[in-house]
Chains A and B, each alone.
Chain A
Amino acid sequence: MLTYNHMVVGLLQAERADRVFHALADGTRRDIVVRTLEGEHSVSALARRYPMSFAAVQKHVAVLEEAGLVTKQRKGREQLVRGNVDTVRLAAQLLDALEAVWRERADRMTEILADPNGGTP
């Protein structure tokens, strides 16, 4: 899948889409994004919401931060997490990911049409 992306979308764009994709592929991380878009949350406040360790939640936040979906700011002893994306930018990134999906599908359609058996086994 990555190979297809690299061929047709271009390395940088695919990598960016993949990071966002991967970050959003997890239910807890999606939930963190939604919550922190609504308002700032400390990592410890987030950790209380999920049935997992503080360290596990911290790791999810790090993945989101790497994908550019949240920012983290230290305030006293707390680390505050805030959704980093205005909705249009997130939409644009998701549309990039959707584009990659359909480019791959288009490649597979072309392969089927080029198949001398005509696609039907």
Chain B
Amino acid sequence: MTVTNVHKDPDALTMAITVELDAPVERAWQLWADPRQLERWWGPPGYPATFVDHDLTVGSRATYYMTSPEGQKHFGWWEVLAVDPPRRLEVRDGFADDTGKPNDDLPVGTMAVTLAERGDRTEMVITSHFPTLQAMEQVLAMGQEEGMIQAIGQIEGILADTPSS
């Protein structure tokens, strides 16, 4: 089982998820540090992520977009709050307009990642925190909207017995 623990604190609007990976810490760190690898797991299926800027130094911003099957781009960003390769990364994350400029109307959460050695494996803990319930609601709804709509579309396609892509 990849995910070994999930701790959710609804009062603190925080979730910590522990992932055990079959790779040394240095290798697992590349999942975050190498934008080409990051792109392969960040977006939901059918919505590949493209990182335009990706510089994991404190104060830097990473900008990315996810492309919908219709070709529409949805921009997001990270601002690096702390980094200690290959063990720790902490970012603020939020959404951006269609030029990649941060959208201040949308809420911002934080995400902290730690990596620790477990023999020749790595334990990765990702802690997400939202300042308000509305922030969590919006981040989740917006980040996943297309993926959900697509998934529902796929189910309808299957029910109608039409071939799906």
Contact = CB atoms under 8 A, between A and B. Distances in A.
B30 A106 contact: no
Contacts of A119: 30-31, 34, 36-37, 40
A121 B124 CA distance: 24
B2 to A, nearest CB: 5
Contacts of B23: 113
B155 interface: yes
Contact of A21 (B28, B41, B136, B144): B144
Contacts of A95: 8, 10, 15, 136
Given A88-B10, A105-B41, 16 more contacts: A22-B148, A24-B140, A25-B141, A25-B149, A33-B137, A91-B133, A94-B133, A96-B8, A98-B15, A101-B44, A101-B144, A109-B28, A110-B2, A113-B27, A113-B28, A114-B22
B15 A8 contact: no
Contacts of A89: 10
B104 to A, nearest CB: 18
A60 interface: no
B21 A34 contact: no
A1 interface: yes
Contacts of A30: 137-138, 141
B105 interface: no
Interface residues of B, number: 46
Contacts of A108: 40-41
A60 B8 CA distance: 29
Interface in A62-121: 87-92, 94-99, 101-110, 112-114, 118-121
B19 A99 contact: no
Contacts of A91: 10-11, 13, 133, 136
A98 B128 contact: yes
B45 interface: yes
A96 B151 CA distance: 18
B52 interface: no
